[in-house]
Structure formats: C-alpha cells, structure tokens
Amino acid sequence: MPPPQSGGTWILDLDGVVWLSDQPIAGSARAVERLRQAGRPVLFATNNADPTIDQLLGRLGRAGIPATVDEIVTSGQASAALLQPGDRALACGGEGLVEALTARGVDVVDRGPADAVVVGMTRAFDYDLLTTAALAVRAGARLIGTNEDPTHPTPAGLFPGSGALIAAVATAAETPAVMAGKPHPPMAALLQARAPVIEWVVGDRPATDGRLARRLGAPFALVLSGVIAADHGPLDVDPDEESPDLGELVSRWIDH
C-alpha cells in the first residue's frame, strides 16, 4: 500500500462511518474534531445522492459535526460532472440529485427526449418512472447511475440501494449504465481536485471505498461500523487498516 501521507486529507464515507441511517455512530463527532485539531482536512464523500447539501450539513450538525459546503462531495455532483451546462437530463432520484444537476446548469426534465437519464436513490421509484426512464434511454439518452451500491445499512438491516434501481432501468432499456460515484473516475476526479494529498480513505464498503482508495493511490481504512462485520471473510479490496469504528481509527493514528 502507499504509506499514509501524514497531514493529508482524510476522506470519510458517511453511511456506516459517521452514521447508520439516522443514528450517529458513537465517537464519530469527537473523531472528526480530533482530526481537525490535528490539522487534518476532512472531506465527506457519499454515494447517497438523495439528500441536498443543506440536508447533509443539517444531519452532520445534528451528529455534532459542523461542516461546510466545500467539505461534501456526493455521487450526484459526480453524475452532474458527466454532463454539460444546457444538457437535458431526466432525473430519477431525490432532491439532492436534482440540486446537483441544476447547479451544473443542466436542464432537469421529467419526460424524454433527454441527453441523459440519471438514476440515483429515490423512494419514489415505481413502474411508471421505470417506464419513462427506459423509454428515454431507448430513444438515445445516455444512462448514468449515481452509484451501484446494492444496499445501504440501516438499524433494521440492509435496504435496497440505488444500484438496485439502476439495474432495473438498465435491464428494461437493455443498456448498461455509466457509473459516476465511488469508486468510479468522475467521483475520484472531484475528490482529487479538492484533496491533492490524502492520508486515509475511510469507509465501510471495500467494493466502493476500498476501490476508490486504490484509484486515488491512497491507503484504505475499513471500519466495521457499517456493512462489513468483524468476522468477515475475504474482501473485494484488502484494507490497509481495519478498525471497529472511526473513533478507534483516529485514536490509533492521531495522538494528542
């Protein structure tokens, strides 16, 4: 592995690292505070494109973590980076995806024709939306997925993630999706632009956070506070560090 670049940015996943669904993970707020006290920039990198930036900042605040707009990178923003201002995009996703597309200058429409169909996590997914999306792709729109995470962790278990919804559109349109979020190049490029030197990529999912770290040439720290249990077998990416949670990881690497 590349050695951790002491003093570099800590790229932190949110779901499974800072919180589990709506429940803050114990010790994560103190851990972020300690990183900042030690002069480490933090970036929150989430594949959840559903919430708006303001909603994410509010959730972080309620978890005891003050943050700024510049510290958040979402798969919605990575999806928008694949489009040009003035493009027409049919958005199958939440407010956060629409916000990211709009901020890019993309014209968000709810019917084809469109230059792209962008699919992310939304609880408003139904047969009619699937039909509209698939027909737009068949008529020539690019199919972009925010991320292929099959599930997201909640206290009640693993709920379907955007990957499940994108798979439905891709199947119905018989067209594979281009993925924008972790671990894919669009998200990596956004992170690299904000964090030229990276100390750790911290996440609970080797297939996304681990592969992102490899793409960025940075070490990967797996935390066991999300989808991977302590008794796991072989993983998609071997972590360079493994820790019960963010609090313990920061205690191990940052001394005071």
Residue labelled with tokens 């490029």: 189
**Rounded least distance, CB 182 to Mg ion, Å:** 9
Restricted to residues 175-234, the positions that interact with Mg ion (CB under 5 A) are 204-205, 226
Count of chain residues binding Mg ion (CB under 5 A):
6
- Contact predicate 149/47, CB 8 Å: yes
- The set of residues, in sequence order, having a beta carbon less than 8 Å from that of 194 and lying 6+ positions away, is 9, 43, 70, 73
Residue of minimal CB distance from Mg ion?
Answer: 16
Of 162, 110, 174, give the one whose Cα is nearest residue 137: 174
User: How many CB atoms lie under 10 A from the CB of residue 210?
Assistant: 25
Of 131, 79, 129, 70, give the one whose Cα is nearest residue 101: 79
Q: Which string of DSSP letters, residue by residue, matches 196-234?
A: SSEEEEEES-IIIIIHHHHHHT--EEEESSSSS-TT--S
By CB under 5 A, name the one of 10, 11, 12, 15 that touches Mg ion. Answer: 15
**Rounded least distance, CB 226 to Mg ion, Å:** 5
Q: Which stretch binds Mg ion (CB under 5 A): 10-18, 35-43, 48-56, 87-95?
A: 10-18
Active site residue 87: no
**Rounded least distance, CB 111 to Mg ion, Å:** 33
Active site residue 149: no
Query: By rule CB under 5 A, what string of x and - marks binding of each residue 38-67 to Mg ion?
Result: ------------------------------
Amino acid identity, position 235 = L
Amino acid identity, position 143 = L
**For residues 75 and 132, which CB has a smaller minimum distance to Mg ion in the complex?**
75
Q: Does 13 bind Mg ion (CB under 5 A)?
A: yes
**For residues 132 and 225, which CB has a smaller minimum distance to Mg ion in the complex?**
225
Q: Which stretch binds Mg ion (CB under 5 A): 15-23, 61-69, 110-118, 168-176?
A: 15-23
Q: In the structure encoding, which two tokens stand for residue 181, read together?
A: 């979020």
**For residues 104 and 205, which CB has a smaller minimum distance to Mg ion in the complex?**
205
Q: Which helix (H) or strand (E) holds 142?
A: strand 142-145
Q: Catalytic residue positions?
A: 13, 15
Residue numbers at the binding site for Mg ion (CB under 5 A) = 13, 15-16, 204-205, 226
